[in-house]
Protein backbone atom coordinates (compact mmCIF):
# COMPACT_ATOMS: atom_id res chain seq x y z
CA UNK A 1 0.00 0.00 0.00
CA UNK A 2 1.30 3.45 -0.92
CA UNK A 3 1.21 6.00 1.86
CA UNK A 4 -0.38 9.41 1.39
CA UNK A 5 2.97 11.16 1.92
CA UNK A 6 4.58 9.03 -0.79
CA UNK A 7 1.73 9.74 -3.18
CA UNK A 8 2.00 13.48 -2.55
CA UNK A 9 5.77 13.40 -3.08
CA UNK A 10 5.35 11.49 -6.36
CA UNK A 11 2.64 13.85 -7.62
CA UNK A 12 4.77 16.86 -6.71
CA UNK A 13 7.67 15.35 -8.62
CA UNK A 14 5.46 14.71 -11.67
CA UNK A 15 4.11 18.27 -11.63
CA UNK A 16 7.65 19.66 -11.41
CA UNK A 17 8.73 17.51 -14.36
CA UNK A 18 5.73 18.65 -16.40
CA UNK A 19 6.54 22.28 -15.60
CA UNK A 20 10.17 21.81 -16.65
CA UNK A 21 9.06 20.19 -19.90
CA UNK A 22 7.24 23.43 -20.79
CA UNK A 23 10.37 25.57 -20.37
CA UNK A 24 11.70 27.52 -23.32
CA UNK A 25 15.19 26.61 -24.54
CA UNK A 26 16.70 29.51 -22.56
CA UNK A 27 14.77 28.62 -19.39
CA UNK A 28 15.83 24.99 -19.72
CA UNK A 29 19.49 26.02 -20.17
CA UNK A 30 19.34 28.21 -17.06
CA UNK A 31 17.60 25.43 -15.12
CA UNK A 32 20.15 22.81 -16.17
CA UNK A 33 23.02 25.18 -15.31
CA UNK A 34 21.56 25.73 -11.83
CA UNK A 35 21.10 21.99 -11.28
CA UNK A 36 24.72 21.41 -12.34
CA UNK A 37 25.93 24.15 -9.98
CA UNK A 38 23.90 22.64 -7.13
CA UNK A 39 25.36 19.18 -7.76
CA UNK A 40 28.90 20.57 -7.98
CA UNK A 41 28.49 22.40 -4.65
CA UNK A 42 26.92 19.34 -3.03
CA UNK A 43 29.77 17.12 -4.25
CA UNK A 44 32.36 19.61 -2.97
CA UNK A 45 30.69 19.65 0.46
CA UNK A 46 30.54 15.85 0.61
CA UNK A 47 34.20 15.59 -0.40
CA UNK A 48 35.20 18.12 2.28
CA UNK A 49 33.26 16.16 4.91
CA UNK A 50 35.00 12.92 3.94
CA UNK A 51 38.41 14.59 4.01
CA UNK A 52 37.68 16.10 7.44
CA UNK A 53 36.71 12.67 8.76
CA UNK A 54 39.94 11.14 7.47
CA UNK A 55 41.96 13.97 9.03
CA UNK A 56 40.20 13.43 12.37
CA UNK A 57 40.91 9.70 12.20
CA UNK A 58 44.58 10.33 11.42
CA UNK A 59 44.84 12.73 14.36
CA UNK A 60 43.15 10.25 16.69
CA UNK A 61 45.35 7.41 15.42
CA UNK A 62 48.45 9.49 16.01
CA UNK A 63 47.42 10.15 19.62
CA UNK A 64 46.53 6.48 20.18
CA UNK A 65 49.87 5.40 18.75
CA UNK A 66 51.77 7.84 20.96
CA UNK A 67 49.88 6.41 23.97
CA UNK A 68 51.14 2.93 23.04
CA UNK A 69 47.85 1.45 21.83
CA UNK A 70 48.31 -1.64 19.60
CA UNK A 71 48.19 -0.92 15.86
CA UNK A 72 45.42 -3.46 15.29
CA UNK A 73 43.13 -1.68 17.76
CA UNK A 74 43.93 1.71 16.26
CA UNK A 75 43.01 0.32 12.86
CA UNK A 76 39.77 -1.14 14.21
CA UNK A 77 38.65 2.14 15.79
CA UNK A 78 39.81 4.57 13.10
CA UNK A 79 39.34 2.56 9.92
CA UNK A 80 42.89 3.35 8.86
CA UNK A 81 45.06 0.59 7.46
CA UNK A 82 47.94 -0.81 9.50
CA UNK A 83 50.34 0.62 6.90
CA UNK A 84 48.82 4.09 7.31
CA UNK A 85 49.14 3.86 11.08
CA UNK A 86 52.72 2.64 10.97
CA UNK A 87 53.60 5.59 8.69
CA UNK A 88 52.47 8.08 11.36
| pLDDT tens, position by position, 6-40 | 778 888 888 888 898 899 999 999 999 999 999 99
- Residue 41's H or E segment, with its range, is helix 25-66
Mean pLDDT taken over the chain: 92
Task: Identify the residue with better confidence: 16 or 50.
Answer: 50
* pLDDT at residue 64 in the model: 97
Q: What is the pLDDT of residue 7?
A: 75
Which one-letter DSSP state was computed for residue 87?
T
Q: What is the pTM of this model?
A: 0.63
Q: Give the pLDDT of residue 16.
A: 87
- Say how far residue 33 (Cα) sits from the centre of its chain: 21
Amino acid sequence: MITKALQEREFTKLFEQAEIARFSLEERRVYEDSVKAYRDINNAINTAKKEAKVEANVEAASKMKSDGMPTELISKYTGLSIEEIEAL
